C-alpha cells in the first residue's frame, strides 16, 4: 500500500497542476484535447516508473500501454492514470487516478484518488476501506425508493444506447434518483462511502473498476457481474451496492433484459 500510495500521490500532483491549466486552454483555438492527452500520458508514465522501480517484476494492465508482461506472473498492477477525462477536459473537478493490485488473479488492494478534492480512497483485502483516515461503510438503505443509484451511459459513437435506455427505465421510476458523473472509479468509491446506494454500468474496462471493486467489498458491499456470469473484469458489466441494492439492481436489470 505504501508503494501504491507514493506512486498515486506523485501522479496526482502532476494532474492537479495540469488541471489548473485546462481553464486557460478552454479559450484557445486548438482546444485542450491534446493537452489532456499529454497529461494522461505523463500520469501513466509516472505510475509505470514508480511502480516498476518499487516492484520490478510485476506486470501491468494499463489504459494506454495495454498489457506489459512481468517476470513475476503472480502479480499485476491494473492502472487508469486519468479516469474522467471528459470532466478533466471541461474543467470539472471530478476525475481520478485508479490503481489496483491483483495477486494470482485476485484483487487485493486498490486506490482511487481525486487530486482536485484530495479525496484519497484506499483499501486492502481484509483491512477495510478508507477515505483519507475515515473508515468507509456502504449505505444501509433497504428501501429502493430511498436509494440514489449511479450509472454511466454509452459515449457517442458507441453501441448499447437502446439497451441502456431500457435498463434505465427499469430503475429510474423506482428509486430516489439517478446520477451520472462520468468517472466509474469514483462512482464505485462513492458507493463504498455510502454516497451512492448502488451502481451499475456496462462495457467498462478492467482499469475503470478494479480498484473500486476492492473499495466496495472492503466497505462491506458487493461488486460483481451485472449479468451474473463471467469475470466482471473481462465483461466490464458491473453492479455494486450493499446486500439489498446489489440484489435489487440485478433483479430489476434482469427483468429489463439485462
**Closest by Cα among 68, 50, 51 to 59:** 68
Give the rounded percent of residues in the chain with a pLDDT score beyond 70.
Answer: 94
Instruction: Count CB neighbours of 105 within 10 A.
Output: 9
The angle subtended at Cα 243 by Cα 258 and Cα 107, nearest 5°, is 80
- Which is it for the CA torsion 186, 192, 198, 202, positive or negative? positive
What span, in angstroms and rounded, lies between the C-alpha atoms of 182 and 79? 17
Mean pLDDT of the chain: 92
Mean pLDDT, residues 64-91: 93
Each domain of the chain, given as residue ranges in start order, spans 2-135, 144-255
Specify whether domain 144-255 bears CATH 3.40.190.80: yes
pLDDT in tens, 182-228: 999 999 999 999 999 999 999 999 999 999 999 999 999 999 999 88
Mean pLDDT, residues 134-156: 94
pLDDT in tens, 226-241: 988 889 999 999 999 9
Whole-angstrom CA distances from 46 to 57, 67, 115, 220 are 17, 17, 15, 32
**What CATH architecture does domain 2-135 belong to?**
2-Layer Sandwich (3.30)
Amino acid at each position: 500500500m505504501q508503494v501504491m500510495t507514493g506512486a498515486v500521490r506523485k501522479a496526482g500532483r502532476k494532474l492537479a497542476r495540469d488541471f489548473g491549466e485546462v481553464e486557460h486552454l478552454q479559450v484557445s483555438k486548438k482546444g485542450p484535447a491534446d493537452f489532456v492527452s499529454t497529461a494522461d500520458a505523463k500520469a501513466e508514465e509516472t505510475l509505470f516508473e514508480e511502480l516498476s522501480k518499487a516492484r520490478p517484476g510485476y506486470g501491468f494492465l494499463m489504459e494506454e500501454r495495454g498489457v506489459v508482461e512481468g517476470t513475476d506472473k503472480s502479480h499485476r498492477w491494473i492502472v487508469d492514470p486519468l479516469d474522467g477525462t471528459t470532466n478533466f477536459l471541461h474543467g470539472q473537478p471530478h476525475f481520478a487516478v485508479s490503481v489496483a493490485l491483483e495477486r494470482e488473479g485476485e484483487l487485493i488492494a486498490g486506490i482511487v484518488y481525486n487530486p482536485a478534492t484530495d479525496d484519497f480512497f484506499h483499501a486492502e483485502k481484509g483491512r477495510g476501506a478508507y477515505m483519507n483516515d475515515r473508515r468507509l461503510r456502504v449505505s444501509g438503505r433497504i428501501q429502493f425508493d430511498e436509494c440514489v443509484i449511479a450509472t454511466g451511459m454509452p459515449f457517442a459513437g458507441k453501441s448499447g444506447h437502446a439497451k441502456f435506455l431500457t435498463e434505465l427505465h427499469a430503475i429510474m421510476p423506482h428509486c430516489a434518483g439517478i446520477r451520472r458523473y462520468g468517472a466509474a472509479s469514483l462512482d464505485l468509491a462513492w458507493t463504498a462511502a455510502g454516497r451512492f446506494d448502488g451502481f451499475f454500468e456496462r462495457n467498462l474496462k478492467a482499469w475503470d473498476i478494479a480498484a473500486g471493486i476492492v473499495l466496495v467489498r472492503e466497505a462491506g458491499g458487493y461488486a460483481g457481474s451485472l449479468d451474473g456470469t463471467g469475470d466482471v473484469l473481462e465483461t466490464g458489466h458491473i453492479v455494486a451496492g450493499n446486500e439489498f441494492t446489489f440484489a435489487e439492481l440485478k433483479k430489476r436489470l434482469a427483468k429489463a433484459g439485462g
